Structure 1
Amino acid sequence: MAPARSHSPLDQFLGQAQHALETVFGTPAASRPNPAADTAEMDLAPEERRHAAGLMRINHVGEICAQALYVGQAAVARDPATRAHLMEAAQEETDHLAWCAERLRELDDRPSLLNPLWYAGSYAIGVAAGLRGDGWNLGFVVETERQVEAHLEEHLRTLPPADLRSREILGVMKADEARHADNAETAGARVLPQPIPAVMALASRMMKAVAYRI
């Protein structure tokens, strides 16, 4: 059997660039069926539809950011096991990204116009977190996923009651995010010191306020 080909820095850069373009401008394919596939579409009032679309746009941005964070962290991870953990989580985030994009289309709305900026900023944060070491890398995963889990719970409370399709998608996403955090803790995540979690929460609130509309 031929030995595995090692990737040069240029190979790695091109691979990262391709992933960024596919995530932001492409149509990523989910590896799992859409959780809402068997759920009927209910009639929504115009204001309910706009609100549901705003929430799903936030969640779509969250998945853009998650892709960038995980890929950035994996790019500088020292331990192959940590890198594999990050890329496995990124694959499930690809499912979430595809489901949110599909739901936005069903709601006759669009993703955020600022997705290239969301991706670039999150990738830079992921690299910075990864350079601190694998324990901090995984700690960043835990804090990110716990905050995402909390905002998904908020969205489930505030979605229009009739929007059953969005609810099915967000319910599965919430369970996945909780599992990602649990797995990272088991793998040796360090607890992030303040003010890092507070700064992350502030950045998340700003992102949600902008992405809801733009």
Structure 2
Amino acid sequence: MNTRTLTSLDRLLIGIERAMEAIAGTPEANRDSPGASMAEADLDEAERRHAAGLMRINHTGEVCAQALYFGQAALARDDETRQHLLHAAAEETDHLAWCAERLHQLDSRPSLLNPLWYAGSYAIGVAAAAISDPVSLGFVVETERQVEAHLADHLDQLPAQDERSRAILSQMQTDEVRHAQAAQQRGGIDLPFPIPKLMEFSSMVMKTVAYRW
């Protein structure tokens, strides 16, 4: 059986489909949610809104991760690097699905600006990959380091009794550490100043906006 080689147009159409799924759809997770076995917490209205705001930030972060990985994979020079990025994106899809489900359980919704977040992150992924695979993988390393740090902050901020959200974020944190280590082992380089600081600033803007909208 012949395997058809994907053209640039094929990859573009696949990318559009993936974007629509990430932004508008409810992605299907390959792993059960870590919070599935936890009892629903008894949250008052303020606690529920705060937990939902944190989970909305994390949902948006996963939308950005999807876009970043797919943008990088689109221009990856090495096929093994491309497959590595797509495999990491598949695990991030689990995170996206878990966060979407948790938002629904908290009677809330994703960020209204997710199309904007996706477009910006995809552009960053394409730009990084256009420079070189080591730079592209370096973006993965730095992104995952920053995500790990903000997940730790969110774990501290969650209402103490919200075990479902806590279980989800804890597993996400474990996965992000592994993604950073894998990208570094594949040759990801440390990004030069001021790129990490600019990434921190853009992340701060996203978190501030996504918490409410």
TM range, smaller chain: over 0.9
Aligned mates of 1:7, 1:42 — CA distance in 2: 47
2:194 corresponds to 1:195:
yes
Structure 2 gap segments, 5+ residues each: none
Matches within 5 A, 1:1-214: 2-214=1-213
Query: What amino acid sits opposite 2:192 in the alignment?
Result: P
| TM-fit CA distance, 1:72 | 0.1
CA RMSD of superposed structures (Å): 0.6
**Count of aligned pairs between the two proteins:** 213
Aligned mates of 2:173, 2:41 — CA distance in 1: 22
Query: What amino acid sits opposite 1:208 in the alignment?
Result: K
TM-score normalised to the size of structure 1?
0.98
Kindly report structure 1 stretches of 4+ aligned residues shifted beyond 4 Å: none
Aligned mates of 2:10, 2:133 — CA distance in 1: 23
Give per-residue Cα distances to partners, 1:51-74, cap 9 Å, x unaligned: 000000000000000000000000
| TM-fit CA distance, 1:9 | 1.9
Partner-residue secondary structure (3-state), 2:29: coil
| TM-fit CA distance, 1:3 | 2.9
**Percent identity between the two aligned chains:** 62
Query: What amino acid sits opposite 1:162 in the alignment?
Result: Q
Aligned mates of 1:74, 1:114 — CA distance in 2: 24
TM-score normalised to the size of structure 2?
0.99
